[in-house]
Amino acid sequence: MNMMSLAELNQALQSKQISSVELTEFFLARIAAHEPELNSFITTTPEQALRMAQAADQRLAKGDAPNLCGIPMAHKDIFCTDGVLTTCGSKMLANFTAPYDAHIVSQFKALDMPVLGKTNMDEFAMGSSNESSFFGAVKNPWSLDRVPGGSSGGSAAAVAAGLTPFATGSDTGGSIRQPASFCGISGLKPTYGLASRFGMIAYASSFDQAGPMAQSAQDLALTLDVMHSFDLRDSTSLDQPKPDYVAALAQPLAGLRIGVPTSYFGEGLDADVKKVIETAIAEYEKLGAELVAVELPNQAHAVAAYYILAPAEASSNLSRFDGVRYGHRCEDPKDLADLYGRSRAEGFGIEVQKRIMLGAYALSAGYYDAYYLKAQKVRRLIQQDFLSAFEQCDVIMGPVAPTPAFKLGEKSDDPLSMYLADLYTIPVNLAGLPAMSLPAGQVKGMPVGLHLVGPYFSEAKLLNVAHQYQLHTDWHLQRAPMAQGAAL
């Protein structure tokens, strides 16, 4: 049952071949069996999940249940969930139980989709390997000595291991797409503002975007249909008409113009990864697409600009965690300054402290113009590069990451190398564009993802382009060893 798509699970539930309670019990059993070695969940909620499954079965019995009703899922632990521990992977929030649901959580709850638990993540979504979590590193189900990617590594690993059919993630600089690539699943970052950020704990507010992570483009289309929702409680939420994402999957690719940036295939890209991506793009040519060379001249500055702007926003957003209102509080503070200082020093991990300091420095008097303002100008240039490229093509394709998943601890002492793991994904967040990763091959037994980038609000086109590829290839059907051999 863990090998079935969301569409197949939906059909099985709607036709009463299986109950939601049976399905939920199956995935809870898989979590219990594999979690000790994978560490993809911070919190599991079996009692709540089974209650929701019972409610779903009652709805299904009436014959008027919506699509996805009764299918279990998991939320990245960055989304507030009423009455459930919401930690953001940090000691700072290790004791925080959310008093309300994030908008996205409430959207799925309205469908009576049982929530299996909250997935592990890099602390406050800061990381590319899921090693900065206070609750320990997540392992890649394809090889337990390798990282799953970050920061949504727990969601990616759980889906890839067959512990949940689908999970939510968030993407600030590649945090859905890079772990999707490393774990051999599909992941989508929507246009900034398409999915509500209400109740999603902020890292960098002008970058953060929620999105779905699942096995295939078809699964992503089903879940994006739920996540695409205008929300008055989020001032950046866009009241954008919702297309029929599932119906759009069937469009043929004839006449599709694929932009291929020459800069994506130069120095720094692993030779074997390059071959995988070139082979995938060649498959699109066979399906009737046309290749167009495009230039993105300012992409080389994206990582530098991002690591000024995102930490600057983080230094402001994380100032609310002070030991006074909620979260970790130091013992026996001498005075208010001691309370602030020790609570934050004890509650935040090294990576988070480093980014807060970097952001505060970039925003300080005398350095704002030299760093922050200049980085904002670079951000605009990167956006203009993409807009110019999309005058010549419909989508842009390239690698998601320079390498397949690297080994645990391999880059822990080399932050620059770690940051460069998001070299190809960060420019998309700077511009606020939609993008996705889909499985396109393997290098030495480890998955490699193909990166698709589209113009604003082109999610339906991206999913269509990915789905047509998946109809003619089987990389999305390849399963991690941990996911194989299980049946209901």
The DSSP secondary structure of 22-88, one letter per residue, reads HHHHHHHHHHHHHHHHH--EEEE-HHHHHHHHHHHHHHHHHT-PPTTTT--EEEETTB--TTSB--T
Q: State the pLDDT at residue 366.
A: 87
The domain 6-253+400-411+424-483 is classified under which CATH number: 3.40.50.720, 3.30.300.20, 3.40.50.1220, 3.90.1300.10?
Answer: 3.90.1300.10
Look-up of token digits 């509080």: 329
Tokens of 283: 């498959």
Whether omega for the bond prior to residue 151 falls within 30 degrees of 0, making it cis, is yes
User: Would you please indicate which residues are annotated as catalytic (active-site) residues?
Assistant: 76, 151, 175
- The pTM assigned to this predicted structure is 0.97
Q: Does an H or E element contain 356, and which?
A: helix 350-363
Mean pLDDT in order along the chain per 10 residues (488 residues): 91 97 98 96 98 98 96 98 98 97 98 98 97 98 97 98 98 98 98 98 98 98 98 97 98 96 92 98 97 96 97 97 94 96 97 97 92 97 98 98 97 87 96 98 98 98 98 97 66
Distance between first and last Cα of the chain:
6
The predicted structure's pLDDT at residue 412 = 87
* pLDDT for the residue 265: 94
Helix (H, G, I), strand (E, B) or coil at 21: helix
C-alpha dist (Å) from residue 29 to 23, 26, 63, 106, 318: 10, 5, 28, 25, 37
DSSP label of 371: I
CA-CA-CA-CA dihedral for 76, 115, 458, 304, to nearest 10: 0
- Among the listed residues 44, 459, 475, 5, the one whose alpha carbon sits nearest the alpha carbon of residue 248: 459
